Amino acid sequence: MNNLLEVRFISEKRGKGVFAKKNIEKDTIIDFAHIVPIPNRDYKKIEKTILFNYCYIWEDPKHKPEFTNAISLSISQFINHSYEPNVKYMYDYENKAIEFSSIRHISQGEELLVNYNGLINDKSPVWFDVE
């Protein structure tokens, strides 16, 4: 069980989110999320399901173009999007994982947010309406 994070229901529109169970200092690794690479032939099927909203682009240089998407098996799967995130993620292709770390102090009870575009300052549109 994760002693830093918890998943809570927010609303029907936003669904669930991840919240700090205690204060988290800047540059803390908060999760190391192992992933399941999705073969491209299977991704076409997932595009039409709810799982599409939980996929990451996964362009592992050693397995490109066979696997270009993945799903993580972790509490971090429920971190919501923001253009002003307090968390960043980095791909670890060798270990087939995604490392999540804080980019500033996060207070107990605060929601963890990440920019789904992958870069902290990337304001490109995402596939849903941002509140």
CATH number at residue 110: 2.170.270.10
| The model's pTM | 0.86
* Over residues 73-99, mean pLDDT: 93
Backbone φ, ψ for residue 75 (5° rounding): -60, -30
Q: What is the pLDDT of residue 130?
A: 67
Q: What span, in angstroms and rounded, lies between the C-alpha atoms of 18 and 110?
A: 9
Domain that holds residue 84: 5-114
Could you report the per-residue pLDDT of 90-109, keeping only the tens digit for each? 999 999 999 999 999 999 99
pLDDT reading at 43 higher than 70: yes
Domain annotation covers residue 69: yes
The count of domains in the chain is 1
Domain annotation covers residue 101: yes
